[in-house]
Structure formats: C-alpha cells, structure tokens
Amino acid sequence: MYIARSSAIASRNLGGETIVMSAVDSTLFTLNPVATAIWESADGTTPLRDIVERRVCRDFEVDADAAYQDASSFVQELAQHGILLVSPDPIGESAKLPQQEPR
C-alpha cells in the first residue's frame, strides 16, 4: 500500500502536532506525533509498511504488525476525507501537488 498527501489540503506543524485542513470540505484534523511521522513520510513512493518500520517502530518503539494495523486504519480514515491518497501502486507527483497551469 502506498500513500500520498492530497494536493487539496493545507497543513502546518503546531508544537509537534500536525494541523491538516481539507480545502474540499474545510474539515480540520490534528495529527499526534505518530500520525505526523506517517503523514510526513507519505511521499507516494514508500510503501506504508516501510514507513511504519522506519519511522513508527524506530521512533516510538512499538511492535511492527500492531503498528501496521493501526497505521492502515489511520490512512483509510484520512483517505475517506480526501486528504490522503491510498493506492496499491506508487502514486505520481501530478496527483499530489497543487497544479500550476500555464497562462
């Protein structure tokens, strides 16, 4: 499973937590440090399992399988709100970034 941040979001780190706002429906989310680690690694090319092992298990000392299950639920929830893209295949740049069109 691959994950990428949607282009239709606004985001900022606020005291170690990440504030994410959907530009589609103005829904606001706050991500705790574990969720923030996953969010920051959501580049569309790194498998979720690798993100969990490298960022979550290493930094927060949790069991890999349990962490992966929790991470899967988390990314599905964010995907339902359209702020995270989830795909079985790597996700290209054009799907992630705000589009800058020629004049």
Partner 1 sequence: MSLMADVNARALALGIPISAQLDITYRCNERCEHCYLDHDDKGELSIAEIKALLNQLAEAGVLFLTISGGEPLLRQDFFDIVAHARSLLFNVKIKSNAVMIRQKEAQRLKNLGVEQVQISIYSDRPEVHDGITKLPGSLKRSIAAIRFLKSQGLKVTMANVLMRQNMDHHLGVRELARELGANYTLDPTITPMMDGNPSTLRMRAPTRVLQETFRDPAVVGNVEEFCAPPLAADDDVMDGLPCSAGHTACYVSPYGDVYPCVQFPLPCGNVRRQRFIDIWKDSPQLKEVRAIRARDLPTCSSCTHVASCTRCPGLAYMEGDMHGPSTADCEKAFVRTGIPTANMLARGINAAAALAGLVQIRLL
What is the C-alpha separation between 91 and 47, in angstroms, rounded? 10
Residue 94 lies near partner 1 (rule: CB under 8 A): no
The tokens describing 2, both together, are 């691959």
The answer to whether 21 contacts partner 1 (rule: CB under 8 A) is yes
Which member of 7, 41, 46, 87 binds partner 1 (CB under 8 A)?
7
CB 92 within 8 A of CB 45: no
Select from 1, 3, 4, 10 the one that contacts partner 1 (CB under 8 A): 10
Query: CB atoms < 10 A from the CB of 36, how many?
Result: 19
Binding site for partner 1 (CB under 8 A): 7-15, 19, 21, 23-24, 26, 28-30, 97-101, 103
